[in-house]
Structure 1
Amino acid sequence: MVSKLFISIACLMSMTGCFGQFSGSLTPDYKGGNNLNLNAQHGVGNAHENVVGSLGLSANTAGGPPTGNLGLDYNRGLNSAGVFGSHTPGQQNTVGGRGSLNLFNSKTDRLDLTGFASKTHTPTNDITKFGAGLKTNDHGVSFSKSNMPGVGSQTRFDGQANLFKTDSNRLDANAFKTFNNPKQGPSFGSHGAGLDWSNVRGHGASVGFDRTPALKETNVFATGRANLWQNKGSSLDAFGTANRALSGPNRGRTDFGGGLGLSHRF
């Protein structure tokens, strides 16, 4: 199944011409096998007005159905509108729409309104989700809500703030809060926060935590990436992750991951 979907994407690429960018990564999965991710993107137009299409494939070498993703976005100036979807054979189909509207723009400040809505069909249920957000310069806030009939709903709030920025480095802080309301059982929530550092040369690192008080569960994580090689069109990167459960049902469990990613711009 993985090979058939990969061949289909390759054929589509050959019919539509060269994509603007192609990237892929292969990383070990603690559950078994390796996670394969392939992404291709191509744009038509100019810097002010263009249409961008994307295709993606994710799968595990140990087996299981792959997931295909696609998107099509129209961009004009600082505004955009698009559609997206994904398909996992026998498990789920998702379709949705998204957009961004510029509310204010000057030489030093900018304010944008973003939004999306999607519907996911599974063999047992349908899941609807929608959300909106505001972005100003390097800061932003957003919310999303998902609903599964007969099961429950979740509301999530996210925030991001830039703490430090130069021509070569930046440091951002992020935080989230979720409210879960199951149809059966008491409501509960989760929260978390983290820091992200990125470098213009392609290096970066993240640290953070999440906590679910009702389960007395706390997890911490760290990720890192390093650019190993690049030229005008290609880049080779290495990345790794580490997660540890400090408390809760999986207390003491530690998961590690790592891999390589290759991207090329045509």
Structure 2
Amino acid sequence: MDCQATGNPKTGEATARCGVLVGGDQANARAGVFASTPGAGGPVTKGVYGAVNANGHGLSVQHGHIEGVGSTTTAAAQVNLHQSQSTSLNATGFHSHSRTHDQFGGGLNLQSAAGHQAAVGVTRVPQIDMTTIQTSGRANLYTSPSGNLNLNAVGSANHHLSGPRRGKSDFGTGLNLNYNF
């Protein structure tokens, strides 16, 4: 049994998940339950998840429910296009269905052994004719000799090609300090 919980006391955002993992690094399956909230006083999403992975390829499904709002089911896939000791390139795709709309998309994710990461993706919501391009990146600035402490610079940008926010862009940057006990 593997249980994890994360939270942000400033915003009230929190996530907890418990599940089982069967298999090893090359091939495994996992299933479990989760609960999350986007912030203090926000609605709680409760649900179940399952995934299978083999040699860098994976399939997953997640079903979440918000009391009084509805349910969302998401299916996703990942295919490893390139794997070496220094880099990994993956293609991803997903489809999410709720009572009010469908959302689907895909993208590419590049990771380096040094902790750097870059991603680009496209998301489409047909019901409101919205198409958005997302990009993100992470640069590892420092890793302690033990590997427990990491400092990363992060950034993201979204550009809306169509829909209610057509032509608008959103940007974000920050520093991420992580310590594993």
One-letter amino acid matched to 1:58: N
TM-score under structure 2 length normalisation: 0.82
Residues 151 and 177, structure 2, Cα contact 8 Å, conserved in 1: yes
Paired position in structure 2 for 1:101: 22
Q: Is 1:130 aligned to residue 43 of structure 2?
A: no
Determine if the alignment matches structure 1 residue 67 to structure 2 residue 27: no
Report the counterpart of residue 118 of structure 1 in structure 2: 34
* 2:98 alignment counterpart: 180
More contact order relative to length (CA 8 Å, sep ≥ 6) = 1
- Aligned length, in residue pairs: 177
Q: CA deviation at 1:251?
A: 1.2
Distance 1:194 1:146 in 2: 23
How far apart, in 2, do the equivalents of 1:125 and 1:56 lie? Answer: 17
Per the alignment, residue 115 of structure 2 pairs with: 202
2:127 aligned with 1:214: yes
State percent identity of aligned pairs: 29
Q: Is the Cα–Cα contact under 8 Å of residues 87 and 112 in structure 2 kept in the other structure?
A: yes
Letter in 2 for 1:226: A
Match of 2:177 in 1: 262
Query: Deviation per CA, 1:83-141, whole angstroms, max 9, x where unpaired?
Result: xx3xxxxxxxxxx5311122xx6xxx843221122356997976431121111121110
Determine the C-alpha separation between the residues in 2 that align with 1:59 and 1:111.
36
Distance in 2 between residues matched to 1:119 and 1:225, nearest whole Å: 27
Aligned residue type for 1:239: V
SS at match of 2:127: helix
Distance 1:120 1:202, change over 3 A: closer
Q: CA RMSD in A?
A: 3.0
CA deviations 1:184-229 (Å, max 9, x no partner) are xxxx311010111011112110000100011100111111111223
Aligned counterpart, 1:242: 157
Q: Which residue of 2 aligns with 1:143?
A: 61
Q: 1:190–1:240: structure 2 CA closer, same or farther, 3 Å change rule?
A: same
Pick closer, same or farther for the CA change 1:219–1:167 going to 2, 3 Å.
Answer: same
Contact 2:49 2:60 in 1 (8 A): yes
Return closer, same or farther for 1:125/1:202 CA change in 2, 3 Å cut-off: closer
Cα shift at 1:253: 1.5
Tell me the equivalent position of 1:32.
none
Q: After the TM superposition, which residues 70-85 of structure 1 pair with which residues of structure 2 at under 5 Å, given as runs?
A: 85=16
State the AA in 1 paired with 2:126: P
**Residues 213-266 of structure 1: CA deviation (Å, up to 9, x unaligned):** 111001111111112233403433212111111111111211111112233456
DSSP-derived class of the 2:165 partner: coil
Q: Secondary structure at the match of 1:214?
A: helix
Structure 2, unmatched stretches of 5+, are: none
- Which structure 1 residue ranges, 5 or more long, are not aligned? 1-50, 70-84, 86-95, 183-187
Match of 1:223 in 2: 136
Q: How does 1:165-176 map to 2 (within 5 A)?
A: 165-176=83-94
Give the whole-Å Cα distance in 1 for the aligned partners of 2:43 and 2:155: 35
Query: Which residue of structure 2 aligns with residue 58 of structure 1?
Result: 8
